[in-house]
């Protein structure tokens, strides 16, 4: 059974950094592109970016490219999202998803709240 | 970015009834490789989105044949027949043809 479990969310102050993790199981992690998607409190879905199966290539939403970094550790079957200089508009639930052109499995999400 | 416009915003349906959700993209979703990466997702209350349909009309593993997708180019439709209580929630379309992925605003399916 494919499972994706995110962690690392919480309350964070504006301007701070935060690193989210997603542990994958039930499939060969190193065979798949992986993506991050977030959902705002108003339920708007926003794609953050993705990473190639071997970690050699990443794509980002242009508005987030300078502050967010996606990486992976295939030995640990773990996907990461490094967020820097966070803003109130980054408040959202962050989902780890499998795939790139088709997002077939989603984790339960981890909530990030940016507030002073 | 490709803008995805979903209609209606909400739908009321009786159990056993049939509904359709429309999704229109601002640009053609036909990829250079000939595939059209239009997906439909259902987000049930308190849960993460789940994939229902991918590449316009392909049902994902374990998805009932009561769900069907159709369309081409810029106009797409999700049909749900014989609606059951477990179908209630918010439906989203999303495109993976052009980076960045973009999603529709969602259609909330409620019981009449």
Residues A36-80 pLDDT 10s: 999 999 999 999 999 999 999 999 999 998 999 999 999 999 999
What is residue A85's three-state secondary structure?
coil
Q: Given CA atoms A1, A111, A16, A42 in this order, what sign does their dihedral have?
A: positive
Q: Establish if A46 touches chain B: CB-CB under 8 angstroms.
A: yes
Interchain contact, A103 vs B96, CB within 8 Å = yes
pLDDT of residue A28: 98
Strand blocks (E) in A1-116: 3-7, 10-12, 18-25, 34-39, 45-51, 58-60, 68-73, 78-83, 92-98, 105-106, 110-114
Residue whose entry in the numeric block shows the structure tokens 């409620």? B110
Amino acid A16: pLDDT: 98
Is the CB of A103 less than 8 angstroms away from the CB of B102? no
The predicted pLDDT at position A65 comes to 85
- Contact residues, chain B, for A104 at CB < 8 Å: 51, 54, 60
Which among A45, A104, A109 has the least Cβ separation from residue B92? A45
**pLDDT of the residue at A80:** 98
Alpha helices in B38-89 (DSSP H): none
CB–CB of B37/B51 below 8 Å?
no
On whether any CB of chain A is under 8 Å from the CB of B48, the answer is yes
CB B23 within 8 A of CB B29: no
DSSP strand pairing (B58-59 vs A68-73): unpaired
Q: How far apart are CA A87 and CA A107, in angstroms?
A: 23
Beta bridge partners of A20: A81
B99 CB contacts (<8 Å, ≥6 apart)?
Answer: A59
CA distances (Å), origin B45, targets A38, A76, A84, B87: 16, 31, 30, 11
Q: If DSSP codes are grouped into helix, strand and coil, which group holds residue B88? A: coil
* pLDDT, one tens digit for every residue, chain B (112 residues): 999 999 999 999 999 999 999 999 999 999 999 999 999 999 999 999 999 999 999 999 999 999 999 999 999 999 999 999 999 999 999 999 999 999 999 999 998 8
């Amino acid at each position: 059974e494919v499972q994706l479990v995110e962690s690392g969310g919480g309350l964070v102050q504006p301007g701070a950094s935060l690193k989210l993790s997603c542990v994958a199981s039930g499939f060969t992690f190193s065979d798949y592109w992986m993506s991050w998607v977030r959902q705002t409190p108003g339920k708007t879905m926003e794609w953050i970016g993705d990473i190639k199966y071997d970690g050699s290539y990443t794509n980002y939403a242009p508005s987030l490219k300078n502050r967010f970094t996606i990486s992976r550790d295939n030995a640990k079957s773990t996907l990461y999202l490094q967020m820097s200089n966070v803003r109130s508009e980054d408040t959202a639930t962050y989902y780890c998803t499998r795939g790139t052109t088709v997002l077939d499995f989603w984790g339960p999400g981890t909530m990030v709240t940016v507030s002073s | 970015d490709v803008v995805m416009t979903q209609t209606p915003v909400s739908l009321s349906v009786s159990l056993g009834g049939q509904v359709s959700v429309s999704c229109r993209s601002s640009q053609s979703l036909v990829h250079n490789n000939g595939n059209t990466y239009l997906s439909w997702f259902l987000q049930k209350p308190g849960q993460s989105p789940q994939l229902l349909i991918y590449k316009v009309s392909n049902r994902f593993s374990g998805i009932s044949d009561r769900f069907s997708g159709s369309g081409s180019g810029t106009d797409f439709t999700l049909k749900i027949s014989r609606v059951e209580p477990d179908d209630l929630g918010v439906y989203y379309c999303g495109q993976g043809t052009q980076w960045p992925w973009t999603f529709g605003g969602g259609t909330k399916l409620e019981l009449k």
